[in-house]
DNA sequence: ATAATTTCTAAACCTAACTTTAGGTCAAGG
DNA sequence: CCTTGACCTAAAGTTAGGTTTAGAAATTAT
């Protein structure tokens, strides 16, 4: 297990907190690409710890694995990612984070309004705008109003 | 379709934007409990629109259906929920929202720090604290540090 | 009265993101 | 040499949150 041999999947799992099976699954999804040693076992680089960390954060932000793969495609597969590489990718992630925060704040403010009047009058909430939805692939605009205008 | 007969499942679906199948599914999960008309068809009250609206918001906040059922259990099943009932329930939801926003802000600030130094040094991030996780039922603490202290 | 919708139930199917299982290999320790 | 533990693959199983399907009954529209 010399430094030049890289990390085993078990070592990677211990350091990231991910299950071994999850790491292998991520490989099938194209999120990580280890090389194999003479015996056919997976060996990982240190940079892969960063890669998996990134995957974990992105997942918390609600990105699907295919989406994360897209984002990570901005990283060179062949060379070790540079500081600039990570900065670029992470900045994109931060933008998403800020968007998500803004959406939730808008939602909270609307909900505050709803609670204020006690009617839970949701038609006024930003919530029902599909553009605000995480995946934004909802079944269309959500309306709770009926002809009379109340719930 | 007189007013005293209540809403059919289709009408409820049109007003909430949910699929008919989803509404029936929510019933199996104990989120809503319509009565049946003479012909055995489901009939809903106006209050059920509010109930479903609430379910939709809570889902966006990442609550699971069982969790939402728990929260809704605070509503009276026998009498029409009062304004005060909804205020109480919605306030609880707002607290969750604020927590979630706070977590994401903390995450963003940490990520900013990481981007600043260019190292994506995640061990410093709040992210790896399982208490911060939505479900908080993860496989335990997540560590990315190795003995040397870098990734 | 008849046709077109809507609704009913039960059961099967679906996707995402994994985990588990089964059966086999490989490396290190005693 | 034998055992133990980490690793391998392929395939099946799991959970959440629904959707789809099929055949029958109820409701609504003409």
At A83-102, the pLDDT tens digits run 777 778 888 888 888 988 88
A143 with B49: Cβ contact below 8 A = no
> Mean pLDDT across chain A, nearest whole number?
74
Determine whether the distance from the CB of B10 to the nearest atom of strand D is below 7 Å: no
**CA of B48 to nearest chain A CA: how many angstroms apart?**
9
Across A135-139, B14-18, B23-27, B118-122, least confident range: A135-139
Q: Confirm if B55 and B22 have CB atoms less than 8 A apart.
A: no
Please name the residue of chain A whose CA is at the shortest distance from the CA of residue B121. Answer: A50
pTM: 0.74
Nearest-angstrom CA–CA distance, A125 and A106: 9
Question: How far does Cα A132 stand from its chain's mean position?
Answer: 17
pLDDT in tens, B77-136: 667 777 788 888 888 888 888 988 888 888 888 777 655 544 444 444 444 433 333 332
Q: Which two tokens stand for residue B107?
A: 């995450």
**A122 vs B: CB within 8 A:** yes
Nearest-angstrom CA–CA distance, B88 and A38: 63
B107 with A54: Cβ contact below 8 A = no
A43 vs B59 pLDDT, higher one:
A43
pLDDT above 90 (res B68): yes
**CA of A40 to nearest chain B CA: how many angstroms apart?**
25
Q: Confirm if B114 and A48 have CB atoms less than 8 A apart.
A: no
Residue A57: per-residue pLDDT = 84
C-alpha dist (Å) from residue A50 to A59, A95, B23, B140: 14, 19, 42, 19
Task: Name the residue among A68, A56, A54, A25 with its Cα closest to residue A9.
Answer: A25
Residue whose structure tokens are 């709770």: A144
Chain B residues whose beta carbon lies within 8 Å of the beta carbon of residue A107:
57, 60, 97
Residue A129: per-residue pLDDT = 39
pLDDT above 50 (res B141): no
**CA of A47 to nearest chain B CA: how many angstroms apart?**
8
Q: Confirm if A131 and A124 have CB atoms less than 8 A apart.
A: no
Q: Confirm if B113 and B124 have CB atoms less than 8 A apart.
A: yes
Please state whether B42 falls in left (phi above 0), alpha (psi between -120 and 50) or beta. Answer: beta
Chain A from 1 to 60: CB within 8 A of any B CB: 15-17, 19, 46, 49-50, 53-54, 56-57, 60
Under 8 Å CB-to-CB from A50, ≥6 apart: which residues? A81, A86, B120, B122, B151
pLDDT in tens, A100-131: 888 888 888 877 765 555 454 444 444 443 33
Q: Angle of helix A9-16 relative to helix A47-60, nearest 10 degrees?
A: 50
Nearest-angstrom CA–CA distance, B94 and B75: 17
Determine whether the distance from the CB of B11 to the nearest atom of strand D is below 7 Å: no
Chain A residues whose beta carbon lies within 8 Å of the beta carbon of residue B19:
139
User: Which site among B53, B145, B151 would you substitute to test the A interface, given the most A Cβ atoms closer than 10 Å to its Cβ?
Assistant: B53
Q: Confirm if B51 and B65 have CB atoms less than 8 A apart.
A: no
User: Which site among A3, A45, A54, A57 would you substitute to test the B interface, given the most B Cβ atoms closer than 10 Å to its Cβ?
Assistant: A57
Nearest-angstrom CA–CA distance, B81 and B88: 11
Q: How confident is the model at residue B7 (pLDDT cuts 50, 70, 90)?
A: very high
> Mean pLDDT across chain B, nearest whole number?
75
Cβ neighbourhood burial of A139 (10 Å; 0-12, 13-18, 19+): exposed
Please state whether A81 falls in left (phi above 0), alpha (psi between -120 and 50) or beta. Answer: beta
């Amino acid at each position: 297990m010399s430094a030049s041999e890289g990390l085993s999947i078990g070592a990677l799992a211990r350091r990231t907190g991910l299950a071994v099976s999850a790491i292998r699954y991520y490989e099938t999804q194209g999120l990580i690409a280890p090389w194999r040693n003479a015996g056919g076992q997976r060996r990982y680089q240190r940079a892969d710890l960063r890669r998996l960390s990134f995957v974990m954060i992105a997942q918390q932000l609600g990105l699907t694995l295919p989406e994360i793969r897209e984002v990570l495609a901005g990283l060179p597969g062949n060379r070790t990612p540079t500081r600039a590489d990570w900065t670029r990718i992470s900045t994109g992630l931060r933008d998403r984070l800020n968007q998500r925060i803004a959406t939730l704040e808008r939602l909270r403010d609307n909900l505050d309004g709803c609670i204020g009047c006690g009617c839970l009058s949701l038609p006024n909430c930003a919530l029902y705008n599909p553009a605000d939805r995480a995946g934004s692939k909802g079944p269309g605009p959500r309306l709770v109003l009926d002809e009379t205008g109340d719930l």
